[in-house]
Amino acid sequence: MDIRSETTELLGRLGVRADRLAGGDLVVRSPVTGEQIAALKTISAGDAAAMIEEADAAFRAWRNVPAPKRGELVRLLGEELRAAKADLGRLVSIEVGKIPSEGLGEVQEMIDICDFAVGLSRQLYGLTIATERPGHRMMETWHPLGVVGVISAFNFPVAVWSWNAALALVCGNSVVWKPSEKTPLTALACQAIFARAAERAADVPNGLVQVLIGDGAIGEVLVDHPKVPLVSATGSTRMGRAVGPRLAKRFARAILELGGNNAGIVCPSADLDMAVRAIAFGAMGTAGQRCTTLRRLFVHDSVYDTLVPRLRKAYQSVSVGSPLETSALVGPLIDRVAFEGMQKALDAAKAEGGTVTGGERVDTGGAEAYYVRPALVEMPKQTGPVLEETFAPILYVMKYSELDQAIAEHNAVGAGLSSSIFTRDLMESERFLSAEGSDCGIANVNIGTSGAEIGGAFGGEKETGGGRESGSDAWRAYMRRATNTVNYSKALPLAQGVSFDI
């Protein structure tokens, strides 16, 4: 079956009617073959504003539904996702080019966050706080916030929505989602899956979850709308620089999940077999298109000549090809722009004295399908393109001799998302995790930089934007906190000993 027919059939099974997929102005291509697989109708700015108003009305009803009952909706969403896992995973592979286990893994990440959020729906705790006044009680209450805007990127087209939506929904909010223009089909599928869960649940108002299909101008409506108190945006640092100030201007909250320029350090005592596997997945997995992808590697000079040839071999032998028809480990880049960006970075690296292994285009027949052999680039030092995130499979490798120097270079880039150290030396790993160590939101030992579990808070510092999503107490960003002090005495003592007797 051709890829367009398969896409239509998959979407049909997932609950998206075929008439939505043709005749529109937004052309959707599969990076697997480069062929067009749909042309969707986009909405106008006016439509987007109306949908946000509808989501605001839904929020006003939903906030009164008890949180554990809201959790029941998310439990059903998790059930529907389990039932749809094979089809949605395959659709992710078609629309983004992920290999099957990663397409399915992304859906698993959605299921996991639903489970997490269901538990959370009974644990939206506030504190009870000792007061200085007799006959008083002080506590804090967490209330629903309002419409949560979600802007997501192509590379995790469904998981990032689910991190936000599952938490936002149990917290009593409605959700308006602007997916990447490169991946609107998986968004429509999520909407259909959500609709099935909503039909089975009680008390779900219409318009609780909305999807805006359109371009950047539609995203701007969401960012600027006064009835959207929180926008969670995933994408480039450039996008964050545009979105952040606009939200700040109207005092809206932002959860920004921006670029990463993630690094690893390989120490003298590292288990090199383990490091090779972790580096291979971290740097080449998802064709280098995760925000957590390993992009820089600092290798101690005592192990450099053992490790780097092994990595070179892995780069030369890794299988590159269609994720739909082969068992390749590396699928395509998302589009031509990504390919050109990669070539530009490699040229710049060569100009800075880098030695490149790989990086060339792998021809699979499709003129608009961009497959590349991942590139390993040995750099004399951290300069030029090494300091920037290029969203492609390029790993820059550099030598170090002192751990403190490696940590300083590790931290000397704009982004601060994920990091890792490979060592069996407790002092080295603890130093890396200490206040003087990695400055990233995620710091790992003997694991690569990518592939975080949903249970931890996910996000990073500096130009990564500072937001946290997913596990731990990330839910707090989706609620508003009220501090309540109750006087159950007959007197009115004032705090700080102030007297004001009239």
Amino acid residing at 14: L
Q: Between 4 and 468, name the residue whose CB sits nearer to ligand UN1.
A: 468
Smallest gap from Cβ 171 to ligand UN1, in A, equals 21
Instruction: Return the range that interacts with ligand UN1 (CB under 6 A); candidates 237-245, 289-297, 322-330, 383-391.
Output: 289-297
Per 3-state DSSP, the chain is made up of helix, strand and coil in percentages (nearest 5) of 40, 20, 40
Q: Can residue 291 be called a binding residue for ligand UN1 (CB under 6 A)?
A: yes
Within 137-156, the residues that bind ligand UN1 by CB under 6 A are 155-156
Instruction: Return the range that interacts with ligand UN1 (CB under 6 A); candidates 193-201, 423-431, 449-457, 471-479.
Output: 449-457
Dihedral (Cα; 366, 370, 373, 377), 10-degree rounding = 160
> Which of 290, 295, 296, 462 touches ligand UN1 (CB under 6 A)?
290
Instruction: Return the range that interacts with ligand UN1 (CB under 6 A); candidates 174-182, 297-305, 447-455, 488-496.
Output: 447-455
Stated as kind and residue range, the H or E segment containing 445 is: strand 442-445
Smallest gap from Cβ 159 to ligand UN1, in A, equals 6
How many Å is the Cα radius of gyration of the chain? 24
Q: Between 420 and 450, name the residue whose CB sits nearer to ligand UN1.
A: 450
62 within 8 A of 144, measured Cβ to Cβ:
yes
Cα–Cα distance, 409 to 240 (Å, whole number): 24
Neighbour-count burial of 173, counting CB atoms closer than 10 A to its CB (0-12 exposed, 13-18 middle, 19+ buried) = buried
Q: Please say if 378 is a catalytic residue.
A: no
Q: Between 29 and 290, name the residue whose CB sits nearer to ligand UN1.
A: 290
Q: Between 146 and 451, name the residue whose CB sits nearer to ligand UN1.
A: 451
167 within 8 A of 475, measured Cβ to Cβ:
yes
Per-residue DSSP letter, 329:
S
Q: Between 162 and 210, name the residue whose CB sits nearer to ligand UN1.
A: 162
Cα–Cα distance, 104 to 308 (Å, whole number): 31
Smallest gap from Cβ 163 to ligand UN1, in A, equals 9
Which residues are bridge partners to 147 per DSSP? 174
Cα–Cα distance, 416 to 435 (Å, whole number): 14
Within 223-252, the residues that bind ligand UN1 by CB under 6 A are 234
Cα–Cα distance, 376 to 396 (Å, whole number): 6
Smallest gap from Cβ 292 to ligand UN1, in A, equals 4
User: Where do contacts with ligand UN1 occur on this chain (CB under 6 A)?
Assistant: 109, 155-156, 160, 234, 290-292, 450-452
Q: Which residues are the active-site residues?
A: 257
